[in-house]
Amino acid sequence: MLSAEKNRIVFGWDAETVVIEAWGKDALRVRAAKLPEIPETEWALTKSDREWTAQTQAGAGYAEIVNGKIKGTIDRSGKIIFRNQDGKILLEEFVRNRKQYDFGPDVVPSGFASALDIEAREFRPILGGDYALTVRFESDPEEKIYGMGQYQQPNLDCKGCELELAHRNSQASVPFAVSSLGYGFLWNNPAVGRVSFAKNVTVWTASSTRVMDYWITAGDTPAEILENYCRVAGTPPMMPDWAMGFWQSKLRYQTQDELLSVAREYKRRGVPLSVIVVDFFHWTMQGEWKFDKKYWPDPQAMVDELREMGVQLMVSIWPTVDHRSENFHEMEEKGYLIRTDRGQRISMTFQGNTVHFDATNPAAREYVWDIVRKNYFDYGIRLFWLDEAEPEYNYYDFDLYRYHLGPDVQIGNLYPMLYARGFYEGMRREGMENIINLVRCAWAGSQRYGALVWSGDIDSSFRSLRNQFAAGLNMGMAGILWWTTDIGGFHGGEASSMEFRECFVRWFEYGTFCAVMRLHGDREPHSLPLSAEGGGTCPSGAANEIWSYGEDVYAICKFYIGLRSRMQPYIREQMKAAHERGLPPMRTLFFGFPQDSMSWQVEDEFLFGPDLLIAPILYAGMREREVYLPAGEEWKNLWTGETVPGGQTVTVSAPLEQIPVFLRVGAGAELEHLLDKD
């Protein structure tokens, strides 16, 4: 059965129904199911751009839908092909079977008869349950794929990669991809699964689901594609000005006096400080979400003093609830905790037997926010660190856990988005607008809930820095426009080590040009716990302030914090572009220069906004490097003032105190002051 309706076409064969409908600018949403009706669930998408006028028609052997620059066709065999406005195939299903049908006059068959009997859409029944889903597309070996979120590997181009569609500590699956062929593709399914961008076939899988759901858009440039996506998945709020400066953090300030002494020292030294952080286990117990007054006796006085210094306080929130906590039994009774299908209801054992609150339950989100509001927000705290947001488990046995919305294997990737949503909506109810919260994971759409994502508990090494470089740019291409790292990495690093000091400095320089500049890390050696009860039970890492690494490193860090401060008018413009259009502050070279073929080959440089080209030092001992300057512009070396025509590779000096930076000639006046290094 083939039919054309208003703004959509429908295919039916046996138990399967396929619907292809207009959803946003130059975009189509495709859903298929073997159910009486296809569920009306948006997942990553919003309804705001659903009503979009498209042209549809159906013939004897095909149906087609045209929405702006994209056309989708489905033939009588059920095969789907997408083309752009010039008729070029963007993406087509991978089919290898014996079916032979007459095609419509505008449909050119690209498959062929085959004894392999492989279907593009495979719903494999789970006995007594739903389906394991596999969806296959033809693969162009020359295609490049960007986006997909954050994975701990150094490849910017994901072509040839296999990626797990699941969250882990330091891994965020955000299944939106931008193709060099001129399309963007959202796998709009929160199930645990995998994707393989192989040379011979592209394969998406979901281990358990009820429906196939994806969204595709066509665009002439990567920027147009990402803007189309952000129209339907959302953009971040406008970042508040105070968040654009330098954030100070360590594992962990153990007392109120210790934290205030650090903030006062920044003030005494005349170093601009925007945010300082109260990390985990400042609370009485996991799942109680309040200061331990033994170590944090007067939160209001702390917040007030920091505010007088122009510093915002951020506090850590964990979603874990200790079985011994004062809220555990009530939350268990009301169904506010995730469940385990086997064994004890325990998902982590760090500092106690704990289980996460169920962020997929709206009532659970409101319950947690109400406690946080009373114990933090009412003191004037306006910034929260939503840690453990994947959620992290002792063991990532995804088939063990069950949520309010369903089993983890079927909807678990929604957790970080809904965790952020609970705080965002709570803060909105209190009248806030420009909301930002630091979150350790994300899924497609998290950006609209003010999620600033950082890359988790990563290693403190140059190798790890290279992984974060690729992760940050791909997060931006996946629509997660606010992204940062722990400057210096999280695990390890001793302040006295000259090798680590070099890594720290290079990371600090790179962090100056991230969406948020945030210092954090679990430095060695650890200090002992303060006591055997409450917030005193957790040890702390070594000092991690900019003066902790010697005078030479301190001078470098102080300079870059000042540079960041002088860039604030420019940063504000980039955050406005992110909020209004969905443009990432951190951009690949080809994002800004898609017509320059060499820009698609460069994987170790990036643009910070349209006018600054950053070439980080990603290897120990490197004191110069090659930098490709995109064609069609002239570029000024920030350090030497030399102007160089684009379209060439130059060798640039990079002493320890300098990260190669080039300013696009003709950039706005707000960047001219950067050349004044005094």
Range picked from 1-10, 177-186, 661-670 for highest mean pLDDT: 177-186
Q: What pLDDT, on a 0 to 100 scale, did the predictor assign at position 349? A: 96
Report which of 628, 629, 589, 599 is spatially closest to residue 477, judged by C-alpha positions.
Answer: 589
Catalytic residue among 92, 138, 241, 457: 457
Burial class for 87, CB neighbours closer than 10 Å (0-12, 13-18, 19+) = exposed
Distances (CA, A) of 414 to 134, 298, 330, 393: 20, 36, 24, 16
Q: Is the pLDDT of residue 103 over 70?
A: no
Q: Can you give the pLDDT at residue 48? A: 76
Q: pLDDT tens, 114-156?
A: 888 899 999 999 987 899 999 999 999 999 999 999 999 999 9
Using a pLDDT cut of 70, give the percent of the chain over it.
97
Whether 148 contacts 172, CB under 8 Å: no
The encoded tokens of residue 283 equal 């609370």
Q: What pLDDT, on a 0 to 100 scale, did the predictor assign at position 129?
A: 83
Instruction: Tell me which of 93, 390, 596, 611 is the catalytic residue.
Output: 390
DSSP annotation string for 259-280: HHHHHHHHHHHT----EEEE-S
Cα 76 from chain centre:
39
97 pLDDT band, cuts 50/70/90, is confident
Q: What is the mean pLDDT of the chain?
A: 95
Mean pLDDT (whole number) for 319-342: 97
CB atoms within 10 A of CB 347: 24
Fold: same for 241-581 and 588-675: no
What tokens does 590 get?
Answer: 């080809």
387 noted as active-site residue: yes
- Which CATH number is 2-233 given? 2.60.40.1760
Task: Estimate the crossing angle of helix 462-477 against helix 498-511, to 10 degrees.
Answer: 10
Catalytic residue among 64, 93, 387, 633: 387
Q: Are 527 and 546 in contact (CB under 8 A)?
A: no
Check residue 100 and give its pLDDT.
46
8 A C-beta contact, residue 290 and residue 260: no
For residue 677, the model assigns a pLDDT of 52
Where b means 16+ CB within 10 Å and e means fewer, 452-487 reads bbbbbbbbbbbebbbbbbbbbbbbbbbbbbbbbbbb
- Residues with Cβ within 8 Å of 674's Cβ and at least 6 positions away in sequence, in order, are 563, 566, 567, 638, 663
- pLDDT in the model for residue 107: 47
- 238/206 Cα distance (integer angstroms): 34
What sign does the CA torsion over 42, 212, 578, 424 have?
positive
Tens of pLDDT, residue by residue over 252-269, are: 999 999 999 999 999 999
pLDDT at 650: 98
Taking domain 241-581, whether its CATH number is 3.20.20.80 is answered by yes
What is the chain's length? 678
Residue 108 reports pLDDT greater than 50: no
Give me the pLDDT at residue 47, please.
82
Task: Give the whole-angstrom CA distance, residue 189 versus residue 165.
Answer: 10
Mean pLDDT of 184-203: 98
Model confidence pLDDT, tens digit, residues 292-325: 999 999 999 999 999 999 999 999 999 999 999 9
**For residue range 340-377, what is the model confidence (pLDDT) as tens digits?**
999 999 999 999 999 999 999 999 999 999 999 999 99
Query: How sure is the predictor about 673, in pLDDT bands with cuts at 50, 70 and 90?
Result: confident
The domains of the chain are located at 2-233, 241-581, 588-675
CATH code given to domain 588-675: 2.60.40.1180
Q: Strand 80-84 relative to strand 89-92: parallel, antiparallel, unpaired?
A: antiparallel
Checking if the pLDDT of 101 tops 50, the result is no
Quick one: pLDDT at residue 104?
A: 46
3-state helix, strand, coil in the chain (%, to 5): 25, 30, 45
Whether 512 has a pLDDT exceeding 50, the answer reads: yes
What confidence score (pLDDT) does residue 111 get?
55
Instruction: Provide the pLDDT confidence category of residue 676 given band limits of 50, 70 and 90.
Output: low
Active site residue 457: yes
